[in-house]
Structure formats: structure tokens, C-alpha cells
Amino acid sequence: MHALLRAAGLVAAAALCGAAAARAQDRWQVTLHSDSVYWDLELLALRGDTLLARRLDRGDTLRLPVMELDEVRLVRKSAKRAFQVDPVAIEEGLMGTGDVVVRLTLRDRAERLAVLAQLLAARPAPER
């Protein structure tokens, strides 16, 4: 139960931090147990024990087994503006310290599905 509450807190943080920012070209990155990393993703849906994600650079859809996921990361778009000194923005852009990271490695199937469902529910509506 504590794990679900902790997961809910992470998801709430992602939602609060990411809702407005997600409209500014934020992307997701997923790391699997095999150390495969997929980036530049849009999370689409859960289908049973599979997370569907679209690779935005290619347009194809990935089917990622939920039990093989180690980490889901919201990668924030960074921008450096000329003549503005912003060391925090530079650090976040170069080191990813502003990213929202959800570790799934030690979670069981039910916890993983709950966390991913909350992440998907917290997504902002697509702009038109």
C-alpha cells in the first residue's frame, strides 16, 4: 500500500510539473531490463500487460511489456535564450535534473499497471 501511495505522489508530481510543460514538446523515455532505451516517445495506452508508445521521430508504435520496464522518464524540453544567464536551466538541460523519473524495477505487476494508468490519465489533451 505504501508503494502505491508513493507512486501516486510521483504521478501527482509528474502531472503538476508536466501538464503545462507537456504542451511544450516534452517527451518520454523508457528503459527496459535489457538496458534498451527508447526515447522521444508519446505514451498512448495500456493494453493488458503492454504499454503502447509512439516513437515521434519515426511514427511507429512500440509495444512494451510492462514487466520488462525499469524506468519511465518525462524528459523536459530545454531552451537556452541568448543573453540570459540561467544556470538551473542549463543544468536541467545538460544533466536531466529537471526530468520526472518513475522507477518500476522493484514494483509488482499491479503497482506497475496502477502507476502507468495514472501517468496516462495525467497527460494533457493533445493540442489541435
Q: What is the DSSP string of 76-103?
A: PP----TT---HHHHHHHHH-TT-EEEE
Question: What is the structure's pLDDT at 98?
Answer: 63
pLDDT of residue 46: 97
Mean pLDDT, the chain cut into blocks of 10 residues (128 residues total): 56 48 68 96 96 95 98 78 61 59 96 96 69
31, 67 Cβ separation under 8 angstroms: no
Q: Which amino acid is at 88?
A: V
